[in-house]
C-alpha cells in the first residue's frame, strides 16, 4: 500500500464530516512490524492503511473506536510491548499516537440580535463552532454577518429550537423577557 492511502482517506472523511482517528507509530524499539511514521486512519466503519497488522493493529483499532464512541478530542499516547502480552513475535516496543480528527463541531443557537448578541456573535464566529443567529427583527442584524454564521429571521423564533441538532447549545437573550421564558421552556 502506498503511503498516500491514509492522506486520501483523511481528506475524504473530513469532506464528509465523518470523525476518525489518525494512528501514528511515533517510536519503535527493537523489532517492530512497521517503522516510525507509519500511519493508519480508523473511522467507525473502516480502516485505511496499516501499522503492521496483527494484534497491535487490532488493539489500536479498538482504542481508536472507543475514542470515537466517546467523542474524545484530546490526543492520546499508548506504549505497547510487542512480546507475549500482544502475542506478536517481534519482541520490540512501539509507541502509538492517537489523534482524533473531524469531531463534530459544537452547534450554537443565539437568540437575540440586540447589542449583546452583536457583541457576542463575532466572538463565537472565531471559534470552531457552527452558529445560527436568530431574531424576528431583520433590522437588528448588522449589515455584515461574520463568516460561518447563519442569520435566521423568523417571526416565530420559538420554532427554531427544534431546527437545531441534538446536543446543541442555546444562548437566549432576546429583547423580550416573556419570549426568553418561552424559548427556555421550549429548549428544556
Higher-pLDDT residue of 1 and 91 is: 91
- For the stretch 150-180, pLDDT in tens is 999 999 999 999 999 878 899 999 999 999 9
Sign of CA dihedral 69, 164, 161, 126: positive
CB atoms within 10 A of CB 1: 9
Residue 62: CA count within 13 A, CB half-sphere: 7
- For the stretch 17-34, pLDDT in tens is 788 999 999 987 766 556
Which three-class secondary structure state does DSSP give residue 6?
Answer: helix
- For the stretch 92-144, pLDDT in tens is 778 999 999 876 678 899 999 999 999 999 999 887 788 999 999 999 999 99
* Nearest-angstrom CA–CA distance, 158 and 87: 58
Kindly indicate whether the domain formed by 106-187 is annotated with CATH number 3.40.50.720: yes
What residue segments make up the domains of the chain, in order of their start?
Answer: 5-101, 106-187
Q: List CB contacts of 62: < 8 A, sequence separation 6 or more.
A: none
- Reported confidence tier of residue 1, pLDDT bands at 50, 70, 90: very low
- For the stretch 59-88, pLDDT in tens is 999 999 999 988 888 899 999 886 655 555
Closest C-alpha among 106, 113, 107, 130 to residue 179:
113
DSSP state of 141: S
Pairing of strands 149-153, 129-135: parallel
Query: What value does the mean pLDDT of the chain take?
Result: 87
Predicted pLDDT of residue 80: 85
Mean pLDDT of 6-10: 87
Predicted pLDDT of residue 24: 94
Q: Residue 74: phi, psi to the nearest 5?
A: -85, 145
Amino acid at each position: 500500500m502506498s503511503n498516500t492511502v491514509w492522506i486520501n482517506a483523511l481528506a475524504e472523511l473530513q469532506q464528509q464530516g465523518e470523525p476518525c482517528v489518525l494512528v501514528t507509530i511515533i517510536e519503535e524499539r527493537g523489532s517492530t512490524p512497521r517503522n516510525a511514521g507509519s500511519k493508519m486512519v480508523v473511522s467507525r466503519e473502516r480502516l485505511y492503511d496499516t501499522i503492521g497488522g496483527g494484534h497491535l493493529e487490532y488493539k489500536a483499532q479498538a482504542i481508536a473506536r472507543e475514542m470515537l464512541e466517546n467523542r474524545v478530542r484530546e490526543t492520546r499516547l499508548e506504549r505497547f510491548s510487542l512480546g507475549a502480552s500482544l502475542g506478536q513475535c517481534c519482541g520490540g516496543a512501539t509507541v502509538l499516537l492517537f489523534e482524533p480528527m473531524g469531531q463534530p463541531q459544537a452547534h450554537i443557537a443565539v437568540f437575540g440580535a440586540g447589542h449583546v448578541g452583536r457583541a457576542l456573535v463575532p466572538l463565537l464566529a472565531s471559534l470552531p463552532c457552527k452558529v445560527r443567529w436568530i431574531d424576528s427583527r431583520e433590522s437588528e442584524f448588522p449589515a455584515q454577518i461574520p463568516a460561518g454564521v447563519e442569520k435566521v429571521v423568523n417571526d416565530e423564533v420559538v420554532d427554531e429550537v427544534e431546527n437545531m441538532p441534538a446536543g446543541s447549545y442555546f444562548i437566549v437573550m432576546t429583547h423580550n423577557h416573556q419570549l426568553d421564558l418561552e424559548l427556555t421552556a421550549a429548549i428544556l
